[in-house]
Amino acid sequence: MTSSTHTRRRPRASDYIVPAAVALAAAGAAYAGADTTFDPALTMFTDFLEGSGGKIITVLSLAGGLIGLASGRFSLGQVAVPVGVGIGVGTGVPIVTSVVTATI
């Protein structure tokens, strides 16, 4: 019975560079935000949150906190949540929109 020994060769830099160069040459340019499929929905939802919808959400959150306070169970969350919702709706939407549509 003969035994054969297999030697493993170490990978060289060209084993990685050549396939990477081929993939880079074949890759097309990708543009983030170039697709406009959901622009109408994004515009409608953004307008809703920045307009009367955001005010309604904030008032309902504040009302829930006030009802919790009136029931006698006080917690900091009953005050902090409506404030956070108001700040999130008022300033969060423009910040997220500007980050998403930023040109890099």
Residues 34-93 pLDDT 10s: 667 778 888 888 888 888 888 888 888 888 888 887 887 777 777 788 888 888 877 887
List all residues 6 or more positions away from 3 whose beta carbon is below 8 Å from its beta carbon: none
26: alpha, beta or left, given left = phi > 0 and alpha = psi -120 to 50?
Answer: alpha
Can you tell me the distance from the alpha carbon of 79 to that of 100, in angstroms, rounded to the nearest whole number?
A: 30
Distances (CA, A) of 10 to 4, 17, 21, 72: 19, 15, 21, 73
pTM: 0.50
Q: What ranges do the domains of the chain cover?
A: 38-104
